[in-house]
Amino acid sequence: MDHRARTQELRFSFTGNKALSGASGRIHWQEAVGKVPVKYVVSRNGELGVMQAVDGKAQFVAIPDAIEGQAAPVDLAPDSLIITEGQHSVVSGDSISLSNP
């Protein structure tokens, strides 16, 4: 790992035909856990998490493994509604209204 250049050299084994030396390629990386983009992560009382819409009210949901400045791993239900506008100013218990863009 070259921390200054923020790169890492990797070597792969091919299961089919080998690529020609110097050929370019593309890697699709998919993590097993979902992540919330950093712009939706908020800090409340020293904890990082997201603001969620629950029954017309804002609710803070802490994310224990969140690291400031990085996308946060979450284990929320697929139908969870994350507040994506005004999330930094709303507090738990505030009444909210949902809108479609």
Mean pLDDT for the chain? 88
Nearest to 76 by CA among 59, 61, 88, 90: 61
How confident is the model over 66-80, as pLDDT tens digits? 999 999 999 888 899
pLDDT score at 101: 62
**Integer Cα distance of 89 and 77 in angstroms:** 24
pTM above 0.85, yes or no: no
